[in-house]
Structure 1
């Protein structure tokens, strides 16, 4: 924001970073200097989950669907497992280091999660004494805590350094800047980071309590121990209950919204604890018959606490809700289809304005005519989707003066959400002039011509063969794939992909790096509470991180095709589906 203010002025900067829509909550917070510019920018990371009451399903029992969105990687982010012990049985996924199943199913209930996108950290500007050993607070000097940290370096000397902490948290000495955080720079100023997660993440026993719950009320009690990160947890059980609970530790700030660094030398900006669990948003058996979360704002305007500022736009949640509300007999297959839906609501909003121009050549006229008939579906095989996505980038470059200030453009447009979903439609609908001058007709026409040239360079002069998936691919590569000569062996799959960061099928990309999908559904699951053995799921690649294993990428083709595989739960179904078993006998 500061760069945009300096480059374009306050009015244009406000237009490019407008308040989020009413159903999203407060406007996004401003950035503060190079430190905050260096923080990783959103590439569409999020998740989808929903639960449907039996009153709206084909089976008469609830359905639960979840697809957490994470960076494309190999090995897969999750490990699937089915754990049985006295008083405990659950099937689901966990991170390799986790003390239990994070998203799962029991014989009684199932649950799924998405990120709340809450604001759980603040930067404090500290005033230190001349020796840098104490920080001012309400007129007194408080000594900093100093501890020594040692990092062992394989094949080299250990690195030892001191960490200084004020009452607010560690003093930040350097920051990573650039795309991917490739450069370390000293921080100009003395900032301390207050982070809610530093007060504890979760109680490991809570993951066991989630499984052992026998009602939504007991399940909510177990969620009290899951403090950070904040999650939107949806729930469904065999008795027909569906529910939602927001979890997390969200600070109660004395003043302000935490959108910019605040003075650390006064108590005016301290935290007065956290929002009590009983005051966090929750819901049980709503009249709509379903609950949807997709990293969107999850509370009403009159909610008394600040949960966050940077919620994702509501388009994924709106699309899911529309598809569910138009179907009174939702099935497992229906939920699987929704998970890979690629219709873009932002595209449908923008298209009437984009195609209102005239083209000065036949190629542009043909493209405009095809786009006028397009439904906004970003399918991998779509010609129109390819033109639309490339055109957006060219429009942004011209509207923001990318040639004159490429760094500001890259910092702003690497995450396209603010421009594509808020700034551009608002400016086109109000006919507000472009931030760098000129007319929108000139920018749109010039951008279209440039987009067609770029597509010809990338995909060839046979225009009828252009398709979005040829530009927009996902690659599942092991870290060892970077080693010379090892690349092909350690790539678990490369696939064309539809969608983008605003479609239910999450396929976010960094516009500064190109069109390859970076953030994708890391696991897709649909749980049928009428018949747990009818549940379906799929990983991105496979269970194994070993290229020689048959399970290295045996799910990759299914995932890319938008399909799900059987996900048995009962003992007979598991035994019927098992390929082999191993019995470990102690002693």
Structure 2
């Protein structure tokens, strides 16, 4: 979709909690789909009591609580993969490394299709990993020029031995911080920010994931594979990875942001922009005590610090400009009075985000061309982080129009982008600004894997569309793709501003009420499209409502819900 994994999690300790016990929250941001990703579960056994959400097929709770602790996750955005341009000999059986030819490992395999057809495949490996050129995005995503590349090999952390299942089993059964921290040390991939709390009032953070030792930090691009200079040098010792226990600020929060400064090992170049963590921190510092009810409001928050910072440049660019166009005057006024909330009923978000789309194109597109531009903005956090840095310089060469050979300033490009945005809105929506509500453009549809095969089928298996607030810089993250739609591949098809990623569930737990927690899924508990529970939570989720899940035996046994018992077969 051109988006990425994200998430928010935070915890306050007893001193900042209205209940006198830690309160912890999580909303993992993943690509939207139907059925939803998560499955609510309560595990009861003589030596294992845990509750929260799991993934179908995983024998345990991924995010949740047990009788003693609670844990939540966000992506660290760890750089877990490196790619290398390889040089092969004419026989395609050897590769060049440090001046000598090495034998490729060649594996012959067969893929059997449902029609009984046996498709032979050949997989070639260097010492780093498989050659994956035929599936690397360079060769099929945004490659209108049909550029060709040398063979590309991949070193991936997921090909190393790890035991995430055992890590989660031990986390599920951990009784305290030390047991939890030891369990997290067994977790390798994908790298996760584990935020922790326990019934004794402690809170903590653990870096969950293996980290390769690299000779340099420039890992965003493909390396030259004919030399071993860029090969991994082992893995960072677990004792060197960051953790935090009972910090003096009395809270911990992560939002895929850079959680540690000046770390001596490379973690990633793909941190999320700071907008979400800034807003979470602002809310947690806004009052001395917080409740679970406050957390519900925070998870629904749609104010964008990012938009607030960018709008100042727009207002500055127009402060001395002569404006005669009525819609331009009205739009500037709306931005000047805006509360920076990405509210689906407001016009200001539509104006700002359409402007931002035009700004990216007016800055980058003439220098990069279509293919490189779409590759560059495909991962949205890259332009999100680069634009504010560029705007600090009023005279960057990136503002120049290289096709017309014209020098331009920051304010020139801002005014042009704003004008382009209004032209677009007048053309696609209406000449009347009052019709430009954000929700008219920004909608979400939870699409089934078979979506697109038939319009009639789509009406049954898809859930939506619904108008939705937020964007990629708000706590309520409702990100959309910056890159253009690729009609050839259903996975990458989208309309402008279609929401493709967001909170895949919401979880809140107050240790003062150990037998219950708040939870909401995006669709429903069932994957059966004919079930009453296929989409019965969607409207609750979109309206900011939650279920209260009871976990004590009495509440479960006395529940009016249906109970399915799975018993062993008598032999």
Q: Tell me how far apart the structure 1 counterparts of residues 59 and 417 of structure 2 sit (CA, whole Å).
A: 51
Q: Tell me how far apart the structure 2 counterparts of residues 180 and 166 of structure 1 sit (CA, whole Å).
A: 23
* Runs of at least 5 residues in structure 2 that lack an aligned partner in the other structure: 402-406, 486-495
* Runs of at least 5 residues in structure 1 that lack an aligned partner in the other structure: 1-39
Match of 2:462 in 1: 491
Tell me if structure 2 keeps the 8 A contact 1:493–1:541: no
Q: Tell me how far apart the structure 2 counterparts of residues 396 and 125 of structure 1 sit (CA, whole Å).
A: 30
Check 1:256–1:471 CA distance in 2 against 1; reply closer, same or farther (3 A cut).
closer
- Once the two structures are superposed, the pairs formed by residues 437-456 of structure 1 within 5 Å of their partners are 437-456=407-426
CA deviation digits over 1:102-133, x for unaligned, max 9?
Answer: 11211111111011111122223333334222
Please say if 1:243 is aligned against 2:204.
yes
Match of 2:524 in 1: 542
Check 1:480–1:192 CA distance in 2 against 1; reply closer, same or farther (3 A cut).
closer
Check 1:289–1:167 CA distance in 2 against 1; reply closer, same or farther (3 A cut).
same
Match of 2:488 in 1: none
Match of 1:148 in 2: 108
Shift of 1:330: 0.6
| Structure 2 residue matching 1:400: 3-state secondary structure | helix
Residue 58 of structure 1, aligned match among 3, 11, 18: 18
TM-score, structure 1 length as denominator?
0.87
Match of 1:459 in 2: 429
| Structure 2 residue matching 1:447: 3-state secondary structure | helix
Q: Tell me how far apart the structure 1 counterparts of residues 96 and 14 of structure 2 sit (CA, whole Å).
A: 59
Aligned length: 546
Match of 1:225 in 2: 186
Residue 398 of structure 1, aligned match among 362, 384, 395: 362
CA deviation digits over 1:238-279, x for unaligned, max 9?
Answer: 111101101111111235543333343444333221111121
Q: Tell me how far apart the structure 2 counterparts of residues 450 and 384 of structure 1 sit (CA, whole Å).
A: 16
Moved more, 145-154 or 330-339: 145-154
Shift of 1:521: 0.5
Q: Tell me how far apart the structure 2 counterparts of residues 254 and 448 of structure 1 sit (CA, whole Å).
A: 44
CA deviation digits over 1:442-492, x for unaligned, max 9?
Answer: 433333233223223333344323211111111012123323221211122
- Once the two structures are superposed, the pairs formed by residues 280-319 of structure 1 within 5 Å of their partners are 280-301=241-262, 303-319=263-279
Check 1:578–1:141 CA distance in 2 against 1; reply closer, same or farther (3 A cut).
farther
Shift of 1:548: 1.4
Please say if 1:365 is aligned against 2:329.
yes
| Structure 2 residue matching 1:527: 3-state secondary structure | strand
CA deviation digits over 1:374-422, x for unaligned, max 9?
Answer: 1211111111111111111122233335599433433334444443443
Shift of 1:347: 0.8
Match of 1:28 in 2: none
CA RMSD, aligned part only? 2.4
Q: Tell me how far apart the structure 1 counterparts of residues 90 and 417 of structure 2 sit (CA, whole Å).
A: 55
Match of 2:489 in 1: none
Residue 160 of structure 2, aligned match among 189, 196, 199: 199
| Structure 2 residue matching 1:306: 3-state secondary structure | coil
Residue 534 of structure 2, aligned match among 527, 552, 571: 552
Q: Tell me how far apart the structure 1 counterparts of residues 124 and 344 of structure 2 sit (CA, whole Å).
A: 50
Tell me if structure 2 keeps the 8 A contact 1:88–1:212: yes
| Structure 1 residue matching 2:74: 3-state secondary structure | strand
Please say if 1:347 is aligned against 2:318.
no
Shift of 1:501: 0.9
Q: Tell me how far apart the structure 2 counterparts of residues 223 and 401 of structure 1 sit (CA, whole Å).
A: 43
Please say if 1:107 is aligned against 2:67.
yes
| Structure 2 residue matching 1:387: 3-state secondary structure | helix
Please say if 1:473 is aligned against 2:443.
yes
Check 1:418–1:261 CA distance in 2 against 1; reply closer, same or farther (3 A cut).
closer
Check 1:488–1:424 CA distance in 2 against 1; reply closer, same or farther (3 A cut).
same
